[in-house]
A and B are shown apart, each in its own frame.
Chain A
Amino acid sequence: MQIDITDGEIRNLNQQLHAQPADSTTKCEVLNPNGAHAIAVGLNAPLNVSINGSTGYYCAGMNKHANVEVHGSVGPGAAENMMSGSLTVHGDASQYAGASGHGGLLNIKGNASSRCGISMKGINIVVHGNIGHMSAFMAQSGNLVVLGDAGDALGDSLYEARLYVRGNVKSLGADCIEKPMKEEHLTELTELLKQAGADATADQFKRYGSARELYHFNIDNASAY
């Protein structure tokens, strides 16, 4: 099916997508997104949605099962709180892409700006370009893979998410440290790069994770928070 949203009928689009049966793999092409907000949010079936242009806030937010592809760039909060399925962005992503995501794959072919993967809880995020400052802030689990460079304060107050960066890291946030690449990490990263169609090999990356110093409040660490 093909839905044109030139007139801004986002609710109509989302209602049609929500009305699909739970096992539907229907293909849907969305025309003229024109930066509109909340395109293809709350999907709950293995649909294949292709968006023909750039979107605004919260594209594919709360996604479950569906594979959403954007042939353009996405605004703030893309794939926010994604549970499963995937969002592929062929352009760039604005701030807090993949925020608090629980699962699935967020695959950004361009750059992502600040706070990418903030509070991520199990989602896998692969960014083929660079990411901005405060990315993976308080990230709890899942993997953030960056083929380019990372901005300031990467992984500040990090929990158990794994961060893999191929390029330079401008600075690490509080309690985030470089960690050794073990066999399990190389295996995991190789699989993620393959899933994302990334032109890179696992041995080119460095791994960053939590030093686990700030998990519990300790008065001696007060200045680090």
Chain B
Amino acid sequence: MCGIVGLFLKDQSLQPELGSLLSDMLVTMTDRGPDSAGVAVYGAEENNTLKVTLQSLDPQTEFADLQEVLSSELDCKVPVQVIDTHAIVRVPADRIDDFSAAMQKLKPSLRMMSTGNSVEIYKEVGLPADVIDRFSIDKLAGSHGIGHTRMATESAVTTLGAHPFSTGYDQCLVHNGSLSNHNIKRRELIHEGLTFETENDTEVAAAYLTHKLNQGCSLGEALEAGIDDLDGFYTFVVGTQNGFGVLRDPIACKPAVLAETDQYVAFGSEYRALVNLPDIQSARVWEPEPATVYFWEH
């Protein structure tokens, strides 16, 4: 199972409600997967600043001196906003490599969940309603977002096994399904220099897309290549700085429903997830075709 939701706003006046609309959609999908939940939200961009979402197993200790330590090491102001087990760190864009080096040296046990101009990723073990509550996701504003609730099959129920997975700057991936060739693909990608933190199949799909993008593919081309290279069942929803996309495997047994109005494009594993969206009665509602890349951009 697993449940996926996604919302891409065309109407800017809905942006303050993004977190609340997406949260409502995700809670409706709770019975598709109770193990963990996560959300990627694309919020306001800040000039010359990259937002890094960090996660800690021991936030009280590890985040306590984080701002001080980073600001001192980088010799500039590095604001840290702690939210439960996560922290959003704002790093000057031209210092991101120094930041990564500082993290390796000073805080190697912290996990980087996402990096980008606008994306923030929040994910934890637990039910969607609890995860939303812990991070106040329903209060977030933004232009688009993706949510996932997981029924674990291929790897353990852990925070790092939760979705979304980051696939690069301002990019993320969620997945419903299971990949059957993820072990061999992981070995191939390790050979290509990529690193992995879990035994999870979706992390392999995320790394695969990252690798393709690093080789110069567009996201559409990377997804197209995935149809040949990734074996198994999947409905993928991907987020980028400007848009979001959907891809189902050629067998397409994992459910997917899209809805589009003048105000938004919405994705749900089931129609149930979409019923409280504004003016859904007049939306165009359809199932995405198998092995077909769908993409919307601002």
Contacts and interface: CB of A to CB of B under 8 A. Distances in A.
A19 to B, nearest CB: 26
Interface string B277-295: 0000000011100100000
Most buried by A among B251, B272, B275, B286: B272
B275 A34 contact: yes
B270 A56 contact: yes
A171 B149 CA distance: 36
A114 B252 contact: yes
A75 B271 contact: yes
B17 to A, nearest CB: 20
Given A76-B255, A114-B252, A94 B272 contact: no
B255 A94 contact: yes
A86 interface: no
Nearest to B276: A34
Contacts, number: 41
Interface in A130-153: 132-133
A54 to B, nearest CB: 5
Contact of B286 (A35, A92, A133): A92
Contact of B271 (A54, A95, A114): A54
Contacts of B286: 92
B258 to A, nearest CB: 12
A60 to B, nearest CB: 16
A67 interface: no
A36 interface: yes
18 contacts: A34-B275, A35-B270, A35-B272, A35-B275, A54-B271, A56-B271, A57-B270, A75-B270, A76-B255, A92-B286, A92-B287, A94-B255, A94-B257, A113-B252, A114-B252, A132-B252, A132-B290, A133-B252
